[in-house]
Amino acid sequence: MEDRRKRSSGDLFETCSAAETANAPKKRKVRKGTLSCWECKRRKIRCTFAALTDAICDGCRSRQTRCISQEFHDEVALPNKKVDRLSRVESLVEQLVNGKERSGMLASGQPGQGNTSANTSYPNDTQAGLHQPTGTDLNDVDRALIEAWPTQHDLDIILSVPVGVSVLLHGVICKSYSDYFSGAFPSPRQVLQLPSKNSHPVLVARRLLLLASFLQGIPPCFAGQLNGLSSDYKTIMSRVFDIATRLVTSNDELVSSLEGIECIMIESMYLNNAGNLRRAWLANRRAMGMAQMTGLHGNTKSSSMFLDDETRERIDPDYMWFRIVCTDRYLSLMLGLPQGSPEDMFASLHVLDYCMPVERMERLDSIAGGLILQRNTAERTDLAATHKIDKLLQEAAESMPPHWWVGSNLALVAQNNGKGFEESVRLMMQFAHYHLLVRLHLPYMLLPSSTNPSYDYSKLTAADASRAIITQYIAFYDIISAPAYCRGVDFIAFVASTTLCLAHIEARPEFENNVTVFRSLQHQRLRDRGLLERLLEIMKRMAVENSDVVARKISSILQPLLDIEDNSFKGSCYQICTAEAEQESHCLGKTSEDSHELRIQIPHFGTIIIERRPQNDTVSQTGNANSSFLQTVPSQGVDPEQAPSWLLDSIPGLELDIEDWALEGVDMALFSNLTGQN
């Protein structure tokens, strides 16, 4: 037996030089059969290997940590990976010769799951086509990330700006709100500190992404306080975001932990706050895919999901999965895209029983959002589905007491305490709830009431919800110079203002004796008109003072819509139609001088045309006297060469960013719902 072992050892290690063996660190004496590395020992988990020749265990490969055998001192790493590989193989051979069984190691790479086969082949990293970062790679990534961190002088200046902690928490809360409402969360200064030395790159990237979010949330009125920085704060913001996403979140091998998924969520929310909804949607889908591979969608929980024990204090895997799904459905509704996961396990009766009222409402609203997306894919005007979702939204609203729906002190939002965070959650959830009501009932806005009187209920509900959104939006912006996390609210305000304008145009009957329930909206006209004009003022001010391209685009649509609404009130009739352009060289439109026509060019969709028509025009599909002032007509081809000369602003394709396509497809989703086209 001894000769056999010597021959085996000699065959295996004949290529190993004496110099390599001499340079290896001195081995420790360990208990016979001990094969675990120090990291797995500390985490009290089983140390497994995908193949016999692997030098790095599965756990360290997943965590991207240094895999050091207990045969060596913890603080000393092998200078040569070949020696580490040889010593591990030597130990395995010794056990095989002594009759020790490595049950399942050869077949599945995991102990205790089956016997081996003598002719089993072992895939290596090259065969699998994978590149696993080595310890040196991780050190290089870690060093590059740390170098991007601002100096202490710059950090002190940044933290002197009064930015609410809600900016850092919005959209990435992965545990119950209860702790946050009580004020049990760290201050921005505590959050914006680098982790301890030799931390995993994902943990460093998280701090960089949070710093980018904090800088993004600085109101323009406080920009003057940052003049002492070594670089412009927007330059710092872009630099730290770019390096974190380029080196970490775009590398699937580094983000397979909960902390890695959290980093992608922060990236998605940053893009959402910047107005890049399509890129935010894509990033959140990556987070969803990684979460599904980790098993979050199936309530899978394991200690190996975490890189750092402190993460358990801020991340509950079930809450994380819900947050990802909730964000996906919001962005899918805004962009008119399909949802990523139709499952609603996060809102089962058992789960809802343990939720706070505000969490119960949020989860029911998320279910409603998913059902709206399903309905829009099948049949937008399915009344049975619409009424079912409407009832669900009523149930969600009843989760909160009446006083919760009344406006309160919005100035609290900017404060770094529990009350401030609670107020920001209330504000955003009200926006989200009313937006769902608008999306649910929007497809009925242009349908004639003569077809089905119940359409009037949907029209009034969409108008009422739009009014609530605009009222809340104006109140908020009149008090606070809005932080960046309200960019999504700008898009919601665009949807609401367009819907309310069209509702008033639609509410004007063609014949005076044509009385419908929807006509009662005329009593709200002056108040609604005042709200819309105030909203337009805010958008114009943002466009000028902040060079806000989104506000400028919204203004360029809202202003002519108000002109058309005014003409409609004075007796003019309008129709809405879509036209497919032959090339994508046109742009967002405006009305002509006499407000006869509004053309809105939407990339990859076509042109929305709202134009005046004679009162005796019989374009209505119903052909009866109960037709409304705003009619839809079938799509038609339009010669691009005949486009009006005032179509000036170019809107390029999907591959470009916010500066080129300001409304990010929100307008396309809105008018698709209105006209019933996919």
The answer to the question of residue 291 being in a domain is yes
Q: What phi and psi, each to the nearest 5 degrees, are found at residue 182?
A: -85, 0
Say how many domains are in the chain. Answer: 3
pLDDT at position 207 is 96
Residue 278 has pLDDT above 70, yes or no: yes
Q: How many CA atoms lie within 13 A of 391 on its CB side?
A: 6
The answer to the question of residue 275 being in a domain is yes
Q: How far apart, in whole angstroms, are the C-alpha atoms of residue 239 and residue 442?
A: 41
Say yes or no: 660 and 544 in one domain. yes
- Asked which of 310, 332, 352 is the last residue of a domain, the reply is 352
- Give residue 340's pLDDT band: very low, low, confident or very high (50, 70, 90): very high
Say yes or no: 86 and 172 in one domain. no
Q: How far apart, in whole angstroms, are the C-alpha atoms of residue 274 and residue 380?
A: 30
Helix (H) or strand (E) holding 331: helix 317-335
The answer to the question of residue 159 being in a domain is yes
Helix (H) or strand (E) holding 4: helix 2-12
pLDDT at position 357 is 95
- Give residue 16's pLDDT band: very low, low, confident or very high (50, 70, 90): very low
pLDDT at position 485 is 54
In this structure, the strands spanning 587-588 and 597-602 are unpaired
Instruction: Between 43 and 391, name the one with better pLDDT.
Output: 391
Helix (H) or strand (E) holding 650: strand 649-650
**Span 344-376, pLDDT tens digits:** 888 888 889 889 999 999 999 999 999 999 999
In this structure, the strands spanning 630-637 and 573-580 are parallel
Query: What's the mean per-residue pLDDT of the chain?
Result: 76
Q: Per mean pLDDT, which of 121-130, 351-360, 394-403, 550-559 is the most reliable?
A: 394-403
User: CA 264 from chain center: how many Å?
Assistant: 9
Say yes or no: 121 and 147 in one domain. no
**Span 562-600, pLDDT tens digits:** 988 888 888 778 877 766 644 443 344 444 444 567 777
User: CA 186 from chain center: how many Å?
Assistant: 23
Q: Are 276 and 664 in contact (CB under 8 A)?
A: yes
Residue 237 has pLDDT above 80, yes or no: yes
Least confident of 20-34, 107-121, 328-342, 494-508: 107-121
Residue 39 has pLDDT above 60, yes or no: yes
Residue 424 has pLDDT above 60, yes or no: yes
pLDDT at position 381 is 86
- Asked which of 320, 352, 384 is the last residue of a domain, the reply is 352
pLDDT at position 233 is 92
Q: Distance of CA 244 to CAs 137, 154, 212, 672, Å?
A: 15, 19, 10, 36
Enter the tokens of residue 91: 């130990």
Q: Are 139 and 162 in contact (CB under 8 A)?
A: no
pLDDT at position 185 is 78
**Averaged over 260-271, what is the pLDDT?**
95
pLDDT at position 557 is 87
Helix (H) or strand (E) holding 588: strand 587-588
Q: How far apart, in whole angstroms, are the C-alpha atoms of residue 182 and residue 583?
A: 56
- In one-letter notation, the amino acid at residue 373 is L
Q: Are 432 and 329 in contact (CB under 8 A)?
A: no
Instruction: Between 492 and 654, name the one with better pLDDT.
Output: 492
Of the candidates 45, 36, 49, which has an alpha carbon nearest to the alpha carbon of residue 305?
Answer: 45
The answer to the question of residue 396 being in a domain is no
Q: Is the dihedral of CA 147, 151, 157, 163 positive or negative?
A: positive
Least confident of 2-11, 219-228, 273-282: 2-11
The answer to the question of residue 432 being in a domain is no
Say yes or no: 151 and 278 in one domain. yes
Instruction: Between 96 and 580, name the one with better pLDDT.
Output: 580
Say yes or no: 487 and 505 in one domain. yes
Say yes or no: 160 and 114 in one domain. no
pLDDT at position 482 is 52
Residue 234 has pLDDT above 80, yes or no: yes
pLDDT at position 440 is 95
**Span 599-608, pLDDT tens digits:** 776 554 556 7
**Span 159-196, pLDDT tens digits:** 998 887 778 888 888 999 988 888 777 888 888 999 88
- Give residue 44's pLDDT band: very low, low, confident or very high (50, 70, 90): low
**Averaged over 284-306, what is the pLDDT?**
87
Angle value at C-alpha 32, between 28 and 37, nearest 5 degrees: 60
Instruction: Between 63 and 103, name the one with better pLDDT.
Output: 63
Q: How far apart, in whole angstroms, are the C-alpha atoms of residue 233 and residue 215?
A: 7
Q: Are 60 and 39 in contact (CB under 8 A)?
A: yes
pLDDT at position 602 is 58
**Span 460-469, pLDDT tens digits:** 999 999 999 9
Q: How far apart, in whole angstroms, are the C-alpha atoms of residue 621 and residue 182?
A: 57
Q: How far apart, in whole angstroms, are the C-alpha atoms of residue 446 and residue 551?
A: 26
Q: Distance of CA 229 to CAs 107, 154, 155, 220, 661, Å?
A: 58, 5, 9, 16, 31
Residue 396 has pLDDT above 90, yes or no: yes
Q: Per mean pLDDT, which of 116-125, 136-145, 169-178, 522-531 is the most reliable?
A: 522-531
Say yes or no: 158 and 82 in one domain. no
Residue 676 has pLDDT above 70, yes or no: no
Q: How far apart, in whole angstroms, are the C-alpha atoms of residue 458 and residue 448?
A: 12
Q: How far apart, in whole angstroms, are the C-alpha atoms of residue 246 and residue 241?
A: 8
Say yes or no: 145 and 65 in one domain. no
Least confident of 248-257, 423-432, 516-525, 592-601: 592-601
Enter the tokens of residue 208: 């960089």
Say yes or no: 283 and 195 in one domain. yes
Domain that holds residue 31: 2-128
Residue 391 has pLDDT above 60, yes or no: yes
Enter the tokens of residue 62: 């997943």
pLDDT at position 132 is 44
pLDDT at position 7 is 47
Say yes or no: 119 and 207 in one domain. no
Least confident of 237-246, 270-279, 353-362: 270-279
At residue 92, the 3 state secondary structure works out as helix
pLDDT at position 457 is 93
- Give residue 271's pLDDT band: very low, low, confident or very high (50, 70, 90): very high
Instruction: Between 109 and 68, name the one with better pLDDT.
Output: 68
- Give residue 33's pLDDT band: very low, low, confident or very high (50, 70, 90): low
Give burial (CB, 10 Å; 0-12/13-18/19+) of 236: buried
- In one-letter notation, the amino acid at residue 296 is L
Instruction: Between 116 and 570, name the one with better pLDDT.
Output: 570
pLDDT at position 67 is 84
Residue 479 has pLDDT above 80, yes or no: no
Q: Are 630 and 503 in contact (CB under 8 A)?
A: no
Residue 496 has pLDDT above 90, yes or no: yes
Q: How far apart, in whole angstroms, are the C-alpha atoms of residue 218 and residue 161?
A: 7
The answer to the question of residue 523 being in a domain is yes
pLDDT at position 312 is 87
The answer to the question of residue 23 being in a domain is yes
3-class SS shares of the chain: helix, strand, coil, % to 5: 55, 5, 35
- In one-letter notation, the amino acid at residue 537 is E
The answer to the question of residue 403 being in a domain is no
pLDDT at position 53 is 60
Say yes or no: 74 and 168 in one domain. no
pLDDT at position 19 is 44
Q: Distance of CA 262 to CAs 13, 214, 257, 266, Å?
A: 44, 16, 9, 6
Residue 663 has pLDDT above 50, yes or no: yes
List, in order, residues 6 or more apart from 254 with CB less than 8 Å away: 64, 133, 141, 201, 202, 248, 260
What pTM does this model have? 0.73
- Asked which of 352, 370, 395 is the last residue of a domain, the reply is 352
Q: How far apart, in whole angstroms, are the C-alpha atoms of residue 505 and residue 167?
A: 38
**Averaged over 414-423, what is the pLDDT?**
81
Residue 22 has pLDDT above 70, yes or no: no
Say yes or no: 190 and 82 in one domain. no
pLDDT at position 436 is 97
pLDDT at position 637 is 37
